[in-house]
Structure 1
Amino acid sequence: MVFPQLIPFASSSSSILQNPSRLNPNKFPYPFNSNPKLLFHPVVRCHLLFRRRRKPVSLRCSASSFSEKHHTNSPKSDDLVELPLFPLPLVLFPGAILPLQIFEFRYRIMMHTLLQTDLRFGVIYTDAVSGTADVGCVGEVVKHERLVDDRFFLICKGQERFRVVNIVRTKPYLVAQVTWLEDKPSANGEEDLDGLANEVETYMKDVIRLSNRLGGKPEKEVGDLRRNLFPTPFSFFVGSTFEGAPREQQALLELVDTAARLKREKETLRNTLNYLSAASAVKDVFPSS
């Protein structure tokens, strides 16, 4: 049986570039998936259309990446700084791990510059339909390997979110002025963020359980998905698991209200769970389908 994609809210990404065709997604290096667990728990492996990619041979990193570190000593939201941008057909969230191979000439130039500065660049979502978004996430190089042919293998970790204000230049690579983006207190100050986060975790566990059942895997207790994370970083972790729905991920990244993000994720997971429940019922009636 073929598993469905997530069933998200309808969403659209904004575009800051008037001519997105200048940024050809087919030209950009695609990320390596060094370990599916780094990007998602069994929900992605069993439930989303998961692209297979080659693995970086000599780099390894830990899946325990969603710490509180990126929420401390963050730049002020009104700071205006220049940041090299790396448009990719994916969405990076704060705290997430992103393996990359750098092979195109202009991005090799960017890497040589970064290695002499602070090893930080902006990852921003782009596709042929919606163009290039104006909200992205800083990727910090935590491990790298330079090969003899001047290619690079990188392990990056998501840090602060940013919003593009002005394009400074497009050659040899994209550089923009950005401001930092942080979550603001909910309009309804009475929101129970911990309660919302717990509900989202429960839906995730149910989706994993049903996905395993439909995939013919043994049903077993799903472990702790939240791992003591506070609601905001947990909401970013959940968003990072929706790897097969990048436009939905972009909409989640752009939200500046933790409660709104958790509610949207809960609705997406609930819709997905309803679909899986129906598919499971059909399988019970027609086991050979």
Structure 2
Amino acid sequence: MSAPAPPSSSSSSSSSSGLVLQGADDVEDCVWENEGEGSLPWDRFGYVSDLVRNGNRAFRQHRLEFFEKAVSYYTRANQIKPNDPVILGNRCATYIRISQFLKLRSASDSEDRPLSGLDPTIHAELALKDAEKLVDIQCNSVRSFVLKASALLLLEKYDTARDTVISGLQVDPFSNSLQGALQQLEKIHASCTGSRSNTKPERTDDFDCTLCLKLLYEPITTPCGHSFCRSCLFQSMDRGNKCPLCRTVLFISPRTSAVSVTLNNIIQKNFPEEYAERKSEHDSLTNLGGDLMPLFVMDIVIPCQKYPLHIFEPRYRLMVRRIMEGNRRMGMVGIDPLTGSFAEFACEVEVTECEPLPDGRFFIEVEGRRRFRIIRSRDQDGYRVAEVEWVQDVEFPQGSRERVDLLELTSNVAEHASSWLTRARQAAQQDRAKYEKLLSLEHMMPTPRDPERFSFWLATLTKRRPDEKLDLLRMTDTRERISRGLIYLRAEEQGCRLQ
């Protein structure tokens, strides 16, 4: 995709744009030391370093299409060496630059030359996700706090950004970038909470969303001047790109414009009880509770399995947006080959990667977590929500003979699987996609001290039919599942197709 270069450094710096703090405007060159926990064999470490160097070169082109290439390089590096501080920090800085570029674009530019669905808010949220991991990993690094505060600033979460900067100053009280950021955020905070009229506004329908006819919650104001609840505008634009009220064509996604801070503050301050009701209603849709699960009906997956999804149906776009605002988890359920209806057993998955597309669709990657049995299900806004009970294997007491034998079996099979992966990786040297997939599988290998999770990981090494995966979900005997996975692996070694 071709796009104009971003504003000059003088207009995109923190001092003039106010969107990004000093210290979040460049990337680091060296991957974190390859020592201790998480270290890689030196050939793989060199491969990761090459990916980071390519990402850095793309970043420093200072053009939008190169920023997107940089994200791709850093993501591939992160899949092989997860939670490396340099890789996470560089990807975070790139998301921040993309978000900044899109926020600084004028409305006329967006109307005359709309970009392909890129959304500054989504990229700022992706930056925040990386920055929060970085703060956990490097709590003594000023850069971690600068990146997190910059992402929060792009999301207009000024109070939280200010608190983050203050936390960073406790690490380094003499940081010039953090001191300057604090002064900038203090001014913003004062303007948002400054003196206002003591007269409480009358509750009129001017504060209502014209789609749900309720008090505006997380209001977004469109370029044509109409305000809607963020979730309502999302749902409306799943079926078209026009303003629901005046039918003006909108060259934005509903999340391109951040929540209107001023309008939201007025509503929250003057109608607190009604606002609390709306918040509770919204939270009930995004956080269903431990035993309720939104369902994506497509295929059967198992724990430890990664699975790419293309989300295009309006009902599932709505569901994915809600889970992304909640715990990022949903249930993946397939059709039982024997009954032709929903399978009774399914797997909870977590969204680990999310890429928005121009027309509101998403490409996401999910990873299998826990399995469950569906007790009953109901319809909610077009998709299914199920009441579930979690399924676990039969556990043997610590120190019992059965437990010792199971751990010994798991350890032996783990050595065999590691050898198999090494041979497969050597055979795939010329196939980059397969090579990277094998590296990812190897890194995901659970510890043999967790036999249940290991047994599912073992089954992901080979391609399995839906009925075979359903059998694995039903099993509560860890030893039997490991034996089954070992049979699959040996069959693969004898010439069957490699996944």
Question: If the length of structure 2 is used for normalisation, what is the TM-score?
Answer: 0.35
CA distance in 1, matches of 2:375, 2:446: 35
Deviates more, 1:188-197 or 1:142-151: 188-197
8 Å contact kept, 2:411–2:448 = no
- Whether 2:308 is the aligned partner of 1:99: answer yes
- Whether 2:349 is the aligned partner of 1:139: answer yes
What is residue 200 of structure 1 aligned with on the other side? 413
- Whether 2:260 is the aligned partner of 1:260: answer no
Gap regions ≥5 residues in structure 2 = 1-67, 83-288, 431-437
Give 1 or 2: higher helix fraction. 2
By how many angstroms is 1:199 displaced? 4.1
8 Å contact kept, 1:137–1:159 = yes
Q: Matched residue pairs, number?
A: 203
SS of the residue aligned with 2:383? coil
SS of the residue aligned with 2:388? strand
Residue in structure 1 matching 2:456, options 236, 239, 262: 236
Gap regions ≥5 residues in structure 1 = 1-55, 66-78, 278-289
Give the aligned CA root-mean-square deviation in angstroms: 3.9
CA distance in 2, matches of 1:272, 1:97: 20
Aligned letter for 2:467?
R
What is residue 122 of structure 1 aligned with on the other side? 331
8 Å contact kept, 2:355–2:362 = yes
1:271-282 maps to which residues of 2 (within 5 A)?
A: 271-273=491-493, 275-276=494-495
SS of the residue aligned with 1:174? strand
Question: If the length of structure 1 is used for normalisation, what is the TM-score?
Answer: 0.56
What is residue 73 of structure 1 aligned with on the other side? none
CA distance in 2, matches of 1:157, 1:106: 21
CA distance in 1, matches of 2:491, 2:327: 42
SS of the residue aligned with 1:126? coil
SS of the residue aligned with 2:468? helix
CA distance in 2, matches of 1:146, 1:214: 35
Deviates more, 1:190-199 or 1:133-142: 190-199
Percent of residue pairs bearing the same amino acid type: 28
Structure with the greater relative contact order (CA < 8 A, sep ≥ 6): 1 or 2? Answer: 1
1:161-172 maps to which residues of 2 (within 5 A)?
A: 161-169=371-379, 172=382
CA distance in 2, matches of 1:62, 1:211: 18
What is residue 112 of structure 1 aligned with on the other side? 321
SS of the residue aligned with 1:242? coil
Instruction: Map Cα deviations across residues 129-172 of structure 1 (whole Å, 9 max, x no partner).
Output: 65332111111123323223001122322222111000122761
CA distance in 1, matches of 2:301, 2:490: 22
8 Å contact kept, 1:203–1:269 = no
By how many angstroms is 1:105 displaced? 1.7
By how many angstroms is 1:176 displaced? 0.9
SS of the residue aligned with 2:408? helix
Deviates more, 1:224-233 or 1:244-253: 224-233
What is residue 466 of structure 2 aligned with on the other side? 246
CA distance in 2, matches of 1:227, 1:176: 29
Aligned letter for 2:329?
R
SS of the residue aligned with 1:234? helix
8 Å contact kept, 1:102–1:151 = yes
By how many angstroms is 1:121 displaced? 0.4
CA distance in 1, matches of 2:412, 2:402: 17
8 Å contact kept, 2:446–2:457 = no
Residue in structure 2 matching 1:89, options 276, 287, 299: 299
8 Å contact kept, 1:210–1:276 = no
Deviates more, 1:196-205 or 1:136-145: 196-205
- Whether 2:88 is the aligned partner of 1:62: answer no
Instruction: Map Cα deviations across residues 50-90 of structure 1 (whole Å, 9 max, x no partner).
Output: xxxxxx9866362578xxxxxxxxxxxxx972211112234
8 Å contact kept, 1:164–1:178 = yes
CA distance in 2, matches of 1:236, 1:64: 22
The higher radius of gyration belongs to: 2
8 Å contact kept, 2:458–2:486 = no
CA distance in 2, matches of 1:271, 1:203: 14
What is residue 19 of structure 1 aligned with on the other side? none
1:173-212 maps to which residues of 2 (within 5 A)?
A: 173-185=383-395, 189-190=401-402, 192-201=405-414, 204=417
Give 1 or 2: higher strand fraction. 1
Closer, same or farther in 2 for the Cα pair 1:116/1:206, shift >3 Å?
Answer: closer
Closer, same or farther in 2 for the Cα pair 1:195/1:182, shift >3 Å?
Answer: same
CA distance in 2, matches of 1:113, 1:276: 44
Closer, same or farther in 2 for the Cα pair 1:209/1:96, shift >3 Å?
Answer: closer
SS of the residue aligned with 1:149? coil
